[in-house]
């Protein structure tokens, strides 16, 4: 097995962990969608900046820590601010689509269209690893997102499971089995306000809670898809600052990163 850097004190990461990636998983490119999720806001100087589930966003809303985990495992992180094509997906070993926009979030959302869905499906069948991360019913565009997910037997339900009020973190608790094949070092995790999943072949449930499918895996052709109904690993609930210490979201993020890279060609 190949391990990335272990979690630091109270979940905080050292500079050394950021600058020196672990060898062994190769220079696989992890491509994060910036087209279907394309949110902007003005910073303190009035300049418009991209934010919300991006590698560059170091605030609670960002994926900067998740990006560090991929790089610590030897991967290259990049982004795709335009629609996916056969050409621009060729460089990706892992492609991540998270929380696609609708017109509640941006004035001119980019919806997943049939041509783009076909390109992504062909890329997965050829060996690509696709990570689909939804959100709850108030924050994600589901109609077009499901047209893509359903190509792999996955449907994001229009619901809001484990809705957490304030700091009642226990509502968002899930306990993973000791022998989980993906999450080998994480056992108690936190996911809140999420969409559950409905599956059909070839998708299979990876983790269920009280009859609700929380995570799913679908193997199609030479590639595979992992789906979860929440952005989950954004900084707010991964950096160890907010959640009680018994939650192991950072370990879970590292486990999933390693597993995704092992699946990728």
**Per-residue pLDDT reduced to its tens digit, 199-244:** 999 999 999 999 999 999 999 999 999 999 999 999 999 999 999 9
Residue 3 covered by a domain: no
Q: Is 112 a domain residue?
A: yes
Do the domain assignments include residue 22? yes
CB of 238 closer than 8 Å to CB of 248? no
In a domain, 94, yes or no: yes
Show the low-confidence residues of the chain (pLDDT under 50). 1, 6-25
Residue 187 forms part of a structural domain? yes
The 3-state DSSP class for residue 219 equals: strand
Quick one: pLDDT at residue 16?
Answer: 29
Beta strands in the chain (DSSP E): 29-33, 39-42, 48-51, 76-80, 94-98, 129-133, 154-156, 173-175, 188-190, 197-199, 203-209, 212-220, 223-228
* Count: domains in the chain: 1
**In degrees rounded to 5, what are phi and psi of residue 232?**
60, -60
Q: How high is the pLDDT of residue 5?
A: 52
Report the pLDDT value the prediction gives residue 26, as an integer from 0 to 100: 54
**188 is in which domain, residue-wise?**
9-263
The answer as to whether 4 is a domain residue is no
Identify whether 2 is part of a domain: no
pTM for this structure? 0.91
* 96 part of a folded domain: yes
Tokens of 206: 């990876």
CATH number of the domain that 215 lies in?
3.40.50.880
User: CA-CA distance, 63 to 67, in Å (whole number)?
Assistant: 6
């Amino acid at each position: 097995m190949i391990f990335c850097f272990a979690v630091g004190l109270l979940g905080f990461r050292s500079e050394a962990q950021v600058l020196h990636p672990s060898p062994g998983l190769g220079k696989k490119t992890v491509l994060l969608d910036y087209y279907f999720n394309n949110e902007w806001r003005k910073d303190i100087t009035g300049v418009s900046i991209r934010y919300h589930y991006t590698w560059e966003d170091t605030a609670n809303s960002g994926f900067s820590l998740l990006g560090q985990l991929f790089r610590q495992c030897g991967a290259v992180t990049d982004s795709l601010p335009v629609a996916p094509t056969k050409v621009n997906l060729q460089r990706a070993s892992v492609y991540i689509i998270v929380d696609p926009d609708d017109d509640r979030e941006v004035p001119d959302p980019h919806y997943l269209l049939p041509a783009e869905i076909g390109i992504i499906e062909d890329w997965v069948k050829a060996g690509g690893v696709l990570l689909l991360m939804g959100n709850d019913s108030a924050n994600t565009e589901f109609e077009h997102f499901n047209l893509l997910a359903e190509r792999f037997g996955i449907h994001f339900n229009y619901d809001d499971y484990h809705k957490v009020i304030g700091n009642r973190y226990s509502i968002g608790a899930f306990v993973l089995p000791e022998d989980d094949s993906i999450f080998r070092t994480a056992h108690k995790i936190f996911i809140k306000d999420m969409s559950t999943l409905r599956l059909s072949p070839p998708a299979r449930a990876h983790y269920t809670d009280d009859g609700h499918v929380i995570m799913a895996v679908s193997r199609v052709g030479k590639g595979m898809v992992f789906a979860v109904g929440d952005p989950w690993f954004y900084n707010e609930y991964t950096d160890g600052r907010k959640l009680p210490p018994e939650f192991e979201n950072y370990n879970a993020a590292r486990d999933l990163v390693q597993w995704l890279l092992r699946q990728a060609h």
